[in-house]
Amino acid sequence: MTKAVGVETPRAWQLAMRAVTVVACLGIAVLLFELVTDYDLLAALVAGALLFIAGVGWMVLAPIGCAEYRQFRAVAIAPIVVVLGAGLVSSGVPDRLAWWLSEGALTRAAQDCADVDGDWFGVMYVDYVHRSDGGCGFSRYATNGGVAYFAPGTTPPDGPPQPYRYVYEPVAPNWYRYTMPIMHD
């Protein structure tokens, strides 16, 4: 850490700034974990709380560090971590990583399509597995949808969205993401 000429950076400020940076890193890590596993809303709330705490701490410590101690690098680390984490989230990396880590387990389970209530397939938690529209659906309660496997040579039903009928979008060969629109007349 650089010092202003003749100004000593207090150890308490250094430790507090490091703690803010660690909390920001933990918040981003928990958020990425939740996005990859799509398991628990509580994890997203914990990530939000950690990032809020880090943000408040940073807003208090950063002006002091810049004005009094000239600690520009130490002050910049936490925002850089948050910007990099936001970039990963907005680029879709967590979704692609989750799919890459789970596709094999999902495909093996889709071959039998045995009814399952609540289980992990790779890093994806699925609330239940069921036969649907000639394929095998892996549903998530929180999203009112999920992913579905259709054997080679078959496809899901196509057509305009209808109330309480699944709408399918291709994800990978033989795999589709589905949602159920709820439309009113």
pLDDT confidence of residue 37: 84
Dist CA 140 CA 130 (whole Å): 11
Q: How many C-beta atoms lie closer than 10 Å to residue 135's C-beta?
A: 24
pLDDT confidence of residue 23: 98
Residue with the bigger pLDDT between 71 and 140: it is: 71
DSSP 71-103: -HHHHHHHHHHHHHHHHHHHHTHHHHHHHHHHH
Domain residue extents for the chain: 11-91, 103-179
pLDDT confidence of residue 6: 59
Would strands 167-172 and 175-179 be described as parallel, antiparallel, or unpaired?
A: antiparallel
Which phi and psi angles does 157 have, rounded to 5°? -60, 145
pLDDT of 106 > 90? The answer is: yes
pTM assigned to the model = 0.79
Dist CA 124 CA 95 (whole Å): 10
pLDDT > 90 fraction of the chain, expressed in percent and rounded = 74
pLDDT, tens only, 18-49: 999 999 999 999 999 998 887 678 999 999 99
Q: Which two tokens stand for residue 165?
A: 């009928």
Q: Give the HSE-up count for residue 182: Cα atoms under 13 Å, Cβ half-sphere.
A: 3
- Strand arrangement of the beta sheet that strand 124-132 belongs to: 116-121, 124-132, 135-140, 145-149, 175-179, 167-172
Residue with the bigger pLDDT between 7 and 8: it is: 8
pLDDT confidence of residue 182: 74
Q: Sorting pLDDT into bands at 50, 70 and 90, what band is 183?
A: low
pLDDT > 70 fraction of the chain, expressed in percent and rounded = 94
